[in-house]
Amino acid sequence: MDGAPLIGGTRRRASSRRPDACLAAVRLTALMAGLALAGCAAAPKTDLRLPVAYEGPSADAAAPASLDRWWTRFGDPLLDQLVDEALATGLDARDAAARLAEARATKSGALTSFLPQGDPSASYLKQRTRTGGAATDLRITTGDFDVSWQVDLFGRLPTASRIAKADFAAARFAYEGSRASIAAEVADSYFQARGLAIQLQDAHESARVQKELYDMTERRARAGLSALADADRVAGDLSQSNARVASLEAQLQAQKRALLILVGRVVDPTASIAVAADVGVAPAPPALVPGDLLTRRPDVREAQARLASASGRANLARLALLPTVSFIPGLGYSRPSTGGATTTTSLGLALSQPLFDMPRLLSQAGVQKAQATQAAIAYERTLRQAFKDSEAALVGLDADRRQVALLADGEARAARAYRAARANYGRGLTDLQSTLSAEQAWRTTRTQLTSAQVQAVRRAVQAYQALGGGWPVDRYSSVASSK
């Protein structure tokens, strides 16, 4: 056998081994990816157990739908107006709407990488060549349109779509949570203003009572029935009451200004809000169970959506270990000025399998898996905090309402005791000290009652917010969490 055929045969055997070696490398890499996928397949689990009922008194049997616009249950048209204005034009509401618009735009562009990629291009070239004394001009017009389209064989596109939907759902729940917080903040600020109005009214009443007592003491002193020092002592208390009136007037004006800024009425005068000196009775929230927090609390729904997104990202990171197949069509055109236009079409497939990049992809898959576990923990933590907040608010509201009832009875008794002491002092049956002590006891009890009433309505606001009130929950379907 001569040498030439042997060399040719050797070349043929080497060329036949090259595809086998490439195929073996692809198979080995795919096997590594499969092993990695098998090791990362478990999704994070969540413990969503809650007590079947709240520990405390039973709530109102009103329909849960009344939570959507819970502030209307207070029966205060001004409160309804202020909340609506804050949700429509307040800075916080506008900021929340802008963040939601950003999330919507992000969702629109999230899947563009899975669409056909490529841009048409065109060029025009004018070239002059001079040979000796002769010049030759050449003009060439070309156009190309090359496209690359990744064929989804392993479900990358559905996974990315679920991630985009979960991210947008989280943004929507964050938006609704912001609006629910705005409503609660407006109501709380409003009831603080009404509490200050009550305190101001009480301070005026205390000043009026002490003025009457001062006049009575002065008349008795002029008649020689009491010492002049008694009148001076009452005058000192009257000055303190007048000073408290001035302080409360300033506090009320500042609170009304803060409320106007909150609802977006910065240029309006504080007199445009007629705050009544009465907080009314705090309405009981509707009867719910802790399990309702899974759907009612926007922050819990947001955490659920973020878990779905994190789980999807972990799946997408694992899918990055698998091969990608791309469909590559192309179209080209060239027409020189010398004639002979050329049209070129191409059609191909490209297979890409990570090999040397596999360690980085495995590391990234581990990172995404850990982040999904963190999202599951955050979901559990958010739910437990929601249960803690809601039960504490309900128990506190019940205690506040009982405290208001007890203090109302005590205030009525203290008022009767003071009126009797003042009448006895006027008839000379008791001394000034006893009368002042009775007046001080009445004033203290009245202040405690006012504080308890304000605390009760503010606690009711907390309870409504803690139970997930302030947003239209029925408009949103549940976001399924990854199992």
Q: Which helix (H) or strand (E) holds 402?
A: helix 358-426
Taking 80 as the threshold, does the pLDDT of residue 138 lie above it? no
**Predicted pLDDT at 167:** 94
Higher pLDDT among residues 432 and 27, named by residue: 432
| Phi and psi at residue 111, to the nearest 5° | -105, 10
Inter-CA distances, 176 with 73, 90, 167, 464, 476, Å: 20, 15, 14, 15, 11
Spatial CA neighbour of 319 closest among 349, 286, 354, 356: 354
Task: For residues 37-62, give the mean pLDDT.
Answer: 71
Q: Are 332 and 144 in contact (CB under 8 A)?
A: yes
- The predicted-structure confidence for 449-458, as pLDDT tens digits, reads as follows 999 999 999 9
Quick one: 54 exposed, middle or buried, by C-beta within 10 A (0-12, 13-18, 19+)? buried
pLDDT score at 326: 83
Q: How confident is the model at residue 10 (pLDDT cuts 50, 70, 90)?
A: very low
β partners of residue 348: 328
Determine the Cα–Cα distance for residues 322 and 465; give it in Å rounded to an integer. Answer: 47
User: Does the pLDDT of residue 99 top 70, yes or no?
Assistant: yes
Helix (H) or strand (E) holding 462: helix 432-466
- 466 in any annotated domain: yes
CB neighbourhood size of 113 (10 A): 11
Q: How buried is 348 (Cβ within 10 angstroms: 0-12 exposed, 13-18 middle, 19+ buried)? A: exposed
| Phi-psi category of residue 407: left, alpha or beta, with phi > 0 → left and psi -120 to 50 → alpha | alpha
- Any domain includes 441: yes
Residue 220 domain flag: yes
Q: Are 466 and 388 in contact (CB under 8 A)?
A: no
CA of 241: how far to CAs of 200, 202, 207, 415, 442, in Å?
10, 10, 5, 18, 14
Residue 134 within a domain: no
Q: What is the DSSP string of 107-120?
A: HHTTTGGGS-B--E
Of the pLDDT bands very low, low, confident and very high (cuts 50, 70, 90), residue 165 is very high
Please indicate, yes or no, if residue 331 is contained in any of the structural domains: no
Query: What is the predicted pLDDT for the residue at 162?
Result: 93
DSSP 410-447: HHHHHHHHHHHHHHHHHTTSS-HHHHHHHHHHHHHHHH
Exposure b/e, 253-271, CB count within 10 A at least 16 = b: eebbbebbebbbbeeeebe
Q: Which of 141, 142, 146, 148 lies closest to 120, judged by CA?
A: 146
Q: Which two tokens stand for residue 79?
A: 């409160």
Residue-wise pLDDT tens digits, 141-161: 887 777 788 888 888 889 999
Q: Which residue has the higher pLDDT, 387 or 476?
A: 387
Q: What mean pLDDT do residues 58-72 have? A: 72
Q: Which helix (H) or strand (E) holds 124?
A: strand 120-131
CA distance 474 to 201: 43
Report if residue 122 sits inside a domain. no
For the ranges 64-78, 94-108, 275-289, 323-337, the maximum mean pLDDT occurs at: 94-108
Integer distance in angstroms from the first to the last C-alpha of the chain?
68
Greatest mean pLDDT among 35-44, 227-236, 439-448 lies in: 439-448
Could you tell me the residue range of the domain that residue 96 belongs to? 27-112+156-321+359-475
409 conformational bin, left if phi > 0, alpha if psi -120 to 50, beta if neither: alpha
Could you report the per-residue pLDDT of 308-323, keeping only the tens digit for each? 999 999 999 999 999 8
Q: What per-residue confidence (pLDDT) applies to 137?
A: 72
Task: Decide: 358 and 435 in contact? Cβ < 8 Å.
Answer: no
pLDDT over 70 (residue 58): no
Give domain status of residue 197, yes or no.
Answer: yes
Q: What is the pLDDT of residue 377?
A: 96
If you ran DSSP here, which 8-state letter would residue 132 be given? T
Supply 449's token pair.
Answer: 């009652």
Q: Residue 17: inside a domain, yes or no?
A: no
pLDDT above 70 for 479: no
pLDDT at 55: 83
Quote the Cα angle for 299-300-304, to 5°.
Answer: 115
Residue 270 DSSP symbol? G
Share of the chain above pLDDT 70, in %: 86
Question: Can you tell me which residue has the tokens 């490529």?
Answer: 118
What is the chain's mean pLDDT, rounded? Answer: 83
Q: What would the pLDDT profile of 336-394 be if each residue is shown by its tens digit?
A: 767 777 888 878 888 888 888 889 999 999 999 999 999 999 999 999 999 999 999 99
Closest by CA position to 263, among listed 323, 203, 355, 188: 188
Angle at 172 between CA 170 and CA 174, to 5 degrees: 70
- Name the nearest CA neighbour of 414 among 209, 207, 187: 209
pTM for the structure as a whole = 0.81
Q: What is the pLDDT of residue 35?
A: 53
- The predicted pLDDT at position 213 comes to 77
- The CATH number for 424's domain is 1.20.1600.10
- Closest to 385 measured CA to CA, from 299, 257, 283: 299
- CA 156, 162, 166, 168 torsion-angle sign: positive
Residue type at 386 in one-letter notation: A
How many domains does the chain contain in total? 1
